[in-house]
Structure 1
Amino acid sequence: MTNFEILASLECKILHNTGSFTAFALDILAIGITNQRESTLIWDKNTSEALVNAIIWLDNRTTSTVEDLLETIPNNARNINYLRPLCGLPLSPYFSGVKLRWLRDNVATVKRAMDAGDAMFGTIDTWLMYNLTGGVNGGVHKTDVTNASRTMLMNIETLQWDGNLLKFFGLPRSILPEICSSAEHFGVIASGSLKGIPITADLGDQQAALVGQQCLSKGQAKATYGTGCFLLYNTGPSIVHSQHGLLTTVGYQLGRKATPYYALEGSVSIAGAAFNWLRDNIGLIQNTGQIETMASMVDNSLDVYFVPAFNGLYAPYWNQDARGVLCGLSEETTSEHIVRATLEAVCFQVRDILDSMHKDCKIPLAKLMVDGGMTVNNLFLQLQSDLVGIHVLRAKIAETTALGAAMAAYKTIAPQYNMEGPLSKSDERDVVKPKINSTERNLRYQKWKMAIERSLNWETSSLVQGERESFDGV
């Protein structure tokens, strides 16, 4: 087994083994971190204690902060894209900068710590790295360009914290970690069985999957299907500012002096989470293992369309007032039709994003690399290929996010490593090809767009204000 294969194997064990970790520390060359990106933590630098519970990426309580910030835009413009030229992102509850401002406005202990210069901010990677390297006893306060690009506080061109963005959000520079590349020496684990092992990579989870899928050339794209769905399209060293609702983000920078590669990203907030809703909220299924079997019991969705906009729509709509709708019900509709329509909803949302990417980049995508929990469902992959009209390729290495972090970590300690070379004999991919024609595909997509129209603007500003509950601490 090569050193790289050892590292990739150990990376997966570290991230996913819930039992004891039994590998010998001497076998481990380095550690790579990959993490949920926009989730926001803030802690006291004197005690290393968290000042408040983390706000995860999907938390929508910061909607009120977005509304307040929109009011501060000059000339009463209320333009969610006001900051895009600087950070590549629209104003949305999704991003860390908005969550930080919400914490400052709503949690007194956070505001006091910020004002006193005692607060430290980080996404999950920063929190892990700080504690692994010693915490208050010399722990490093760092992040990488991929995670920093999701905060709305980093300048997308300079790859440094931006004074104008910090001023807009009313946040102090003192709370922010140092921005590093995605593959370099971050620090050394301070204690425990891995004491002395260096941390040599740090990437947000979706960017790590981009690397793990070896989408390292301009024009390649991958989609990861989990709770949400995230599609990244590598735009190379060029920054592409989307005109069609996508995010401009950093794909990776594999070394302090390496050229940064950028990506366009389409984010779908509800993918696999829709099936949890079918199970937990309305009892339509007993467990998620039933999905493929149930959806296969019918030949089509019987013109049922489900838009799972439970907390608004992300790319390419960015409409926080949208809510879920189920359209096209008839007396013949069964639970199987609704389950199949839920699978199709994820596929249609990916079609929305791919269409936007085509408009922005002018180059149609010929194939889509896919990974994540939902890709074990063969019917889902066929529906995805049918409804977007391209080949869908499933990697046989399931944990591409962990693999990408391992690849970047190994690249740091072995600069000669060719990341675009074959990984192993198991690097073959399952290829799924479309089975329906473009006429049927486009007709079904038109009806999806009709369903989208019906989901928009359900949550008016007055209703949102009336339903807000006071926050009395966590």
Structure 2
Amino acid sequence: MTQSKESSANDKPLPPSVPLIISIDVGTTSSRVIAFNQQGSEVAKHQIEYSTSASEQKYTPAGKRRHSEQLDAGVSETAPASAVTSAPPTANGNGTSGATDSTDAPTKGDSPPIFSSVGFRIRESAVLTIEDIAKNQTVGPTLTFPKPGWVSCNPTSILFNVLECLGETLAMLDEKNNARDAAKQGPYEISCIGVANMRETTIVWSRSTGLPVVDYGIVWNDTRNAALLTEMEKNTDPELQKKLHKKTGLPLFSTYFSCSKLRWLLENEPKVKEAYDKDDLMFGTVDAWLIYHLTAQNAFVTDVTNASRTGFMNLDTLQYDDELLDYWKIDKTKVLLPRIVSSAEYYGDFAVPTFCRKILTEQVVHSLQEFSKKKIPINGCLGDQSASLVGQMAYKKGAAKCTYGTGCFLLYNTGTQKLLSRHGTLTTLGFWFPSLEDDFDMNKPHFALEGSVAVAGSVVQWLRDNLRLVAKAEDVGPLASTVTDSGGVVFVPAFSGLFAPYWDPACRATIMGISQFTTASHIARAAVEGVCFQARAILKAMSSDAYRGNQLENGDDDKDDAEDIDLLELSNNSQSHEKSVFSTLSVDGGMSRSDEVMQIQSDILGPCIKVRRSPIVESTALGAAIAANMAFKTEAERPLWANLKDCKSWIYFDGESNETVIEKSGRTNLKVFKSSSTDENRRKHWKLWETAVARSSGWLTAVDGESVPPK
């Protein structure tokens, strides 16, 4: 802990400051900034849910506290709507911004003011004019859905959201420090910043201006590149496909990854092609975009966990691969690619982007500028699912985690072994903390197998908003638990196809087995089970891959395909112990907060695996904080935790080395779920699920007139 300065009034030392780490966590539907303490508790937090092109939400970005302060200052709540152009509705619904004051009121002959997507008036600066900003459309929703299957994000809006969240979090800490000072307690002090972000989302911007070349980025779950990939697959030799897959660990023709999104932009956006031809193009994922704009040095970097999802990085070298770039027709002399770095090292010092200083409110800008004077390092970065792996303390080989967010993401830590899946999962980077001491190879890059479910929490939203089965998302678990099973109903929630291990983009959502016996409770349960069955399918694939990986590591290099054993169905016999590769699934995310849903998941997995819910709700953000902490070279320098073992001890057990303190430490979220299902019922329901998937597969291909072979 750092010591505060001595008091000049009485020459007595003030209490020591309390170190905190800030996490910036940019998700698919929201951004948040959280200040964590040594116990992994949230000391301060601010979150913004994204506005969307389909949203009717009325939103005041700064919250009620600031809104009240502005009203006290005389800001009118009834300014005429005609005074603004393209302003999103705020709390009063008339498009006025809480950032306005009497000097901002438009006068006769003035152009209408422009507002950003988070509700702040945009003003000219020394760098940008209003016309520049308007041209790049910082106005409008953060997420848009231009066509079926298309999902776009506004990069500048995401940046403003992050700055807003950070400014509000700092203001909250200032208030807490005032109270702590009055109570003769040491102040909270920010030590460093970590970043977690949605992966694969592709952004292109200009070297000369730092602004997006087009007014959107392509989000990870966007499918506009499907036709391009279909054409490339037809023209790619199977042997080359295998070679490139081995380099990246990714399916070559999935719409998921950044490589084909960048190719689509170059082929379909003239402005992007023009910038490319003029050597003015920069490409990056959300982490690179944020770190570039939030560091005084304009550091242009991406960490290995994000780079491994672009389709451009070689897993063996951890660098861009010329053959991969050539395959996607990317000339690295014409587009600037971020430097690939580790997950925990110094990237640069926080600074407020110049063009944002005149956009945000004066209060937020003041907080951010005062903060930037402290030269707080940004030195941790992880893709969101890798951040969750770290935040779940799944550090060691054999640990597995599942995050139930908009989608559902499972990672299985394979340690320093790069294991290519034969069963439909991906190979990705888990983390790389090079400053750690060489204890269990924790300072080396750690790999993971990953499986993704496209629809998880979003199926709950669908039940709530589209079918109106429940009033609140948290009601789905209790509704599903009013029945003992789904009554023969199977829900395959493939709204945009099935991801791992099926990889069927032509599959579409289906509900089968409905009868007059079916109730809303059966449909709700079938929807929840549809997510849990996909998680089971991924774990089944991972278990076979991991078992084979263990055989190879022990010298049993069989040349045939790996034995496709279902380790999840092994009973307590002699084989079970020998073949088991993991026994605990750590879970976090929205759906994991429901005891009912997690019990359903445990029943579907069976007795070989227990489901353990993380004590920390925001595991992804916590992972970024851990990465930032581990960037410091020595244990003495690290502000919160000396090493990963120390980190787990504090976050799980309040610094103790055993679990006896869990109850008194208030870790109410930490809970273990064990299966209560019978083998007969579990296998029967699994067979129903596999039958439903087979009959849902290839739907789009079939309706387009092509025959689909039965599965």
TM-score, with length taken from structure 2:
0.62
Q: Which residue of 2 aligns with 1:471?
A: none
Alignment of 1:166-315 (within 5 A): 166-173=325-332, 174-191=335-352, 192-195=369-372, 196-255=375-434, 258-315=443-500
Question: How many angstroms apart in 2 are the aligned matches of 1:444 and 1:56?
Answer: 34
Answering whether residue 315 of structure 2 is matched by residue 139 of structure 1, we say: no
| Most deviating of 358-367 and 119-128 | 358-367
Q: Which residue of 1 aligns with 2:501?
A: 316
In structure 2, stretches of 5+ residues that fail to align are 3-16, 23-33, 37-41, 49-61, 64-167, 175-186, 353-368, 437-442, 548-579, 636-641, 655-664, 707-711
Question: How many angstroms apart in 1 are the aligned matches of 2:254 and 2:418?
Answer: 21
Question: How many angstroms apart in 1 are the aligned matches of 2:630 and 2:243?
Answer: 37
Q: Is the 8 A contact 1:45 1:118 kept in 2?
A: yes
Answering whether residue 700 of structure 2 is matched by residue 459 of structure 1, we say: yes
Deviations, residues 129-168 of structure 1 (Å, cap 9, x unaligned): 011014xxx4111100000000110001100000010011
Distance 1:37 1:304, change over 3 A: same
**Counterpart residue identity of residue 432, structure 1:** F
Please report how far the alpha carbon of residue 170 of structure 1 lies from its aligned counterpart in structure 2 after TM superposition.
0.9
Please report how far the alpha carbon of residue 439 of structure 1 lies from its aligned counterpart in structure 2 after TM superposition.
2.1
Q: Is the 8 A contact 1:43 1:49 kept in 2?
A: yes
Answering whether residue 283 of structure 2 is matched by residue 121 of structure 1, we say: yes
Question: How many angstroms apart in 1 are the aligned matches of 2:199 and 2:499?
Answer: 16
Distance 1:164 1:256, change over 3 A: farther
Please report how far the alpha carbon of residue 38 of structure 1 lies from its aligned counterpart in structure 2 after TM superposition.
1.0
Q: Which residue of 2 aligns with 1:110?
A: 272
Runs of 4+ in 1 over 6 A off after TM superposition: 1-5
Q: Is the 8 A contact 1:222 1:233 kept in 2?
A: yes
1:341 corresponds, among 502, 526, 533, to 526
Question: How many angstroms apart in 2 are the aligned matches of 1:82 and 1:277?
Answer: 40
Distance 1:346 1:110, change over 3 A: same
Q: Is the 8 A contact 2:435 2:630 kept in 1?
A: no
Q: Which residue of 2 aligns with 1:469?
A: none
Q: Which residue of 2 aligns with 1:57?
A: 220
**Counterpart residue identity of residue 374, structure 1:** M
Answering whether residue 679 of structure 2 is matched by residue 438 of structure 1, we say: yes
Q: Is the 8 A contact 1:180 1:256 kept in 2?
A: no
Deviations, residues 362-410 of structure 1 (Å, cap 9, x unaligned): 1432110000011111110001111011210011211111111101101
Question: How many angstroms apart in 2 are the aligned matches of 1:239 and 1:97?
Answer: 21
Please report how far the alpha carbon of residue 228 of structure 1 lies from its aligned counterpart in structure 2 after TM superposition.
0.3
Deviations, residues 400-442 of structure 1 (Å, cap 9, x unaligned): 1111110110111263222123123356831111001222211
| Most deviating of 408-417 and 304-313 | 408-417
Answering whether residue 613 of structure 2 is matched by residue 394 of structure 1, we say: yes
In structure 1, stretches of 5+ residues that fail to align are 466-474
Please report how far the alpha carbon of residue 290 of structure 1 lies from its aligned counterpart in structure 2 after TM superposition.
2.0
Question: How many angstroms apart in 1 are the aligned matches of 2:326 and 2:627?
Answer: 34
Please report how far the alpha carbon of residue 298 of structure 1 lies from its aligned counterpart in structure 2 after TM superposition.
1.8
| Most deviating of 385-394 and 285-294 | 285-294
Deviations, residues 244-279 of structure 1 (Å, cap 9, x unaligned): 000000101012793100000011111111122223
Relative contact order (alpha carbons < 8 A, sep ≥ 6): 1 or 2 greater?
1
Q: Which residue of 1 aligns with 2:645?
A: 420
1:367 corresponds, among 584, 601, 605, to 584
| Most deviating of 292-301 and 252-261 | 252-261
**Counterpart residue identity of residue 144, structure 1:** D
Question: How many angstroms apart in 1 are the aligned matches of 2:200 and 2:18?
Answer: 29
Please report how far the alpha carbon of residue 282 of structure 1 lies from its aligned counterpart in structure 2 after TM superposition.
3.2
Q: Is the 8 A contact 2:435 2:633 kept in 1?
A: no
SS at match of 1:29: strand
Deviations, residues 12-64 of structure 1 (Å, cap 9, x unaligned): 64663765222259811110000001111111111111122011111111111
Distance 1:79 1:300, change over 3 A: farther
State, as a whole percentage, how many aligned pairs show the same letter: 42
Distance 1:213 1:15, change over 3 A: farther
Alignment of 1:13-52 (within 5 A): 13=44, 16=47, 20-21=168-169, 22=171, 23=173, 27-52=189-214
Question: How many angstroms apart in 2 are the aligned matches of 1:211 and 1:5?
Answer: 20
**Counterpart residue identity of residue 541, structure 2:** S
TM-score, with length taken from structure 1:
0.92
Question: How many angstroms apart in 2 are the aligned matches of 1:82 and 1:311?
Answer: 28
SS at match of 2:389: helix
Deviations, residues 268-315 of structure 1 (Å, cap 9, x unaligned): 111111122223333333331321231122221101110011111100
How many residue pairs get aligned? The number is: 460
| CA RMSD of superposed structures (Å) | 2.3
Question: How many angstroms apart in 1 are the aligned matches of 2:705 and 2:479?
Answer: 36
Question: How many angstroms apart in 1 are the aligned matches of 2:703 and 2:261?
Answer: 22
